[in-house]
Amino acid sequence: MAVSMCFKCGKMISISEIPTGNPAAWQNPSVFALYYGSCKSCGMYCSDCIESAGGRCPNCGKPIEIKGPSAIPYEEYKKRRDELHGWWQKNVKQPGLKKKVEKKEGFISRILRHFNR
């Protein structure tokens, strides 16, 4: 897992190639940011710091695009943040789910089915 740190608040930023995001980041939302942005001049910032700066770099004010897990668009994540983290924390503790999580396609379809009811 590639990790960086928010230059403003110090929160760890999970930079994952897993389409749904890194499981450790889902389990620890107070420690890891799943969504982030990068300013070429100033560094990386978590989505919370970018949002509190009005979608701009908290240091220099340039606009920053927020990136993160490709299977869950940021706007959807913002609307359902607590629900998504709650679902993850409840279901990841079920026996056998970790094996399913490792199979990316199966997990993606399961989480999307759950929220598209």
Q: Tens digit of pLDDT for each residue in 49-87? A: 999 999 999 999 999 999 988 888 888 888 888 888 777
Q: Which one-letter DSSP state was computed for residue 72?
A: S
For 53, the enclosing helix (H) or strand (E) is none
Partners of 43 in beta bridges: 39
Is residue 113 very low, low, confident or very high in pLDDT (cuts 50, 70, 90)?
A: low
Domain map of the chain by residue range?
A: 2-115
Six-digit token pair at 6? 């928010």
Ramachandran sector of residue 48 (left: φ over 0; alpha: ψ -120 to 50; beta: rest)? alpha
Mean pLDDT for the stretch of residues 21-39: 87
Six-digit token pair at 25? 């980041």
pTM for the model:
0.71
**Inter-residue contact 15 to 78 (CB < 8 Å):** no
